[in-house]
Amino acid sequence: MASSMPSSRRRQGTAPETIASALRADILSGAARPGTLLRQEDLAARFAMSRIPVRDALRLLEAEGLVTIAINRGAQVAQLSRAEVAEIFHLRILLEGNCLALAIPRMSAADIDRIERIRQRAEIDAATAEWSAGDWAFHEALYQPSGHVRQIEIIQGLRTTSDLYASAHRALPKQRKRWLADHRAIVAACRARRVTDAVAALTAHLAAARDFVLQQMPEGQRA
């Protein structure tokens, strides 16, 4: 539905990337909630490393929109206002709808069969801890035939940021009947080459995700 997981294309191996990967998992699982302070000295002790790779890891996460760094306040898990979350979903609706509209005319029969296989796998994973990864795999497969690699990367970044709240409350899987039905409707429209219907189904899908995430936000951030 609304969620996403980090791309498999991300490089792994250096100390900052290893730290960033662990912190990213904490943030997206809800273990580190929006607003949580990320003190460099505590992280250095946790990972048994100096503060330099910790600082670099925090900068990587800042570039992804998962962490904010402010002078005299340090780093904390990004905490968005209701208006900011709504704006992110507004951008997602525009970019994802456009990417799907570009992709459908370019989808081969093999592409659609692959999308359907991934959709079926995501449906199996929907009731497990892998639901978010399966959901992003489905959406990414939908958009890939567009050939717009940069646009898909932007979409992924926006989805990751909005996932701060979807994952923190761990509530979206409760809505899986709705979003799995949306997935089936989108694939059916793609197979029939009904671009307008597919984009409309995707738009309704993302709007429902937006409304649900906004409802789950803590009251102080909903103002």
Residue 4 near residue 164, CB atoms below 8 Å: no
| 58 shares its domain with 95 | no
- pLDDT of amino acid 5: 45
> Phi and psi for 39 in degrees, rounded to 5?
-80, 130
Tokens of 168: 């923190």
How distant is the alpha carbon of residue 126 from its chain centre?
15
- pLDDT of amino acid 19: 95
Residue 9 resides in a domain:
no
| 35 shares its domain with 133 | no
| 127 shares its domain with 42 | no
Q: Which of 32, 47, 77 is a domain's end point?
A: 77
| 158 shares its domain with 95 | yes
| 127 shares its domain with 162 | yes
- pLDDT of amino acid 219: 61
- pLDDT of amino acid 207: 95
Dist. CA 211–CA 184, nearest whole Å: 21
Encode 103-138: b = buried (16+ Cβ within 10 Å), e = exposed. Answer: bbeebeeebbeebbebbeebbebbeeeebbbbbbbb
pTM here is 0.77
Compute mean pLDDT per 10 residues along the chain, 223 residues long, and list them. 45 80 85 89 94 94 90 86 91 98 98 97 83 90 98 92 65 75 97 98 94 76 45
- pLDDT of amino acid 172: 60
Residue 164 resides in a domain:
yes
Residue 10 resides in a domain:
no
- pLDDT of amino acid 167: 57
- pLDDT of amino acid 6: 45
| 70 shares its domain with 137 | no
Q: Which of 77, 99, 131 is a domain's end point?
A: 77
| 135 shares its domain with 217 | yes
Long-range contacts of the stretch 117-124 (C-beta < 8 A, 24+): 119/183, 119/184, 119/187, 122/180, 122/183, 123/180, 123/183
| 57 shares its domain with 113 | no
> Phi and psi for 4 in degrees, rounded to 5?
-150, 160
The Cα angle at residue 35 between residues 29 and 41, in degrees rounded to 5: 90
- pLDDT of amino acid 35: 87
Dist. CA 175–CA 106, nearest whole Å: 31
Residue 100 resides in a domain:
yes
Q: What is the count of structural domains for the chain?
A: 2
Dist. CA 87–CA 91, nearest whole Å: 6
- pLDDT of amino acid 222: 41
| 165 shares its domain with 216 | yes
Tokens of 73: 């306040």
- 89: containing domain: 82-222
| 205 shares its domain with 110 | yes
| 64 shares its domain with 167 | no
Written in H, E and C, the secondary structure of 32-52 is CCCCCEECHHHHHHHHCCCHH
Residue 53 resides in a domain:
yes
Tokens of 105: 């005319």
CATH number, domain containing residue 50: 1.10.10.10
Q: Which of 26, 42, 77 is a domain's end point?
A: 77
- pLDDT of amino acid 145: 98
Residue 3 resides in a domain:
no
| 101 shares its domain with 73 | no
CATH number, domain containing residue 122: 1.20.120.530
Dist. CA 191–CA 113, nearest whole Å: 9
